[in-house]
Amino acid sequence: MAAGRAAAGGLRLRLSSRLALVTGGGSGIGRAVCQRFADEGATVAVVDIDEGSANETLKSLPCDRQQHSVFRTDVTSPQSVHSLVSSVQEKFSRPPCITVNCAGITMDDLLLKMEAEAFDRVLKVNLMGTFLVIQAVAKALIASGTKGGSIVNLGSIVGKVGNLGQANYTASKAGVMALTKTSAKELARFGIRCNAILPGFIDTPMAAKVPPKILEKVLQLVPMGRLGDPSEVASACAFLASDDSSYITGANLEVTGGLFM
């Protein structure tokens, strides 16, 4: 949303001097998060399995692009995630104090037709990938003696209510919500907060795959009567990443336009 970026000039630099790692940063919500964080003064590690898309995000960031960097990573691979965190620390001489897990995929089909491979793949990217990044970043923060940190995970409102044709996706996002709460409980003693954002239907490439007739029916259920913009989710992420949310952990923040409230 152009207005969302244009308004950035009036933002407080709440994330100034902070290092943020954003998975799935090559498109959609992940790209909007990278842009918002850079607008608020953060140095951004743009992480994506698609290096070309990540570089497009890098080009869109304000200020000195040299302060930001791209890291190609497969979040389903423990080795790749370990290498990511090590590379980020080597590049910036510190671990990221902010992490946003946006990497995610859909492979939709009705439950009775869904292949086991499709179920497994979505769980690996959306849930296992989130776990691996949380674990690696938390270990790095604790080992470095860094006090504090904020981890934000992208869940989904359908992880709470279910959705036709998305047995794998809804299960993965329900898992992200539970993982977030357990991570918050375990990491609080190290000063690391962990929260989740639950978007509704957002105007992203993922939403573009939904058939128009189904999307029309969904919008009838949204009190605000429209799709959300990625920048609106990014604003919620910026709040949870900043000190404005210093006493919030283990929370699920819905950004849905009122859907399923």
Who's near 24: CB < 8 A, 6+ residues apart?
30, 47, 48, 101, 102, 103, 104, 154
Active site residue: 169, 172, 199, 259, which one? 169
For the question of residue 169 being annotated catalytic, the response is yes
SS3 49: coil
Using CA atoms, how far apart are residues 48 and 32, in angstroms rounded to an integer?
A: 14
CB-count burial class (<10 Å; 0-12, 13-18, 19+) for 226: exposed
For 219: left if phi > 0, alpha if psi spans -120 to 50, otherwise beta; the answer is: alpha
At 185, which helix (H) or strand (E)? helix 167-187
What number of residues does the chain have?
261
CB atoms within 10 A of CB 150: 26
What Rg do the C-alpha atoms of the chain give, in angstroms? 17
Point out the residues that are catalytic.
169
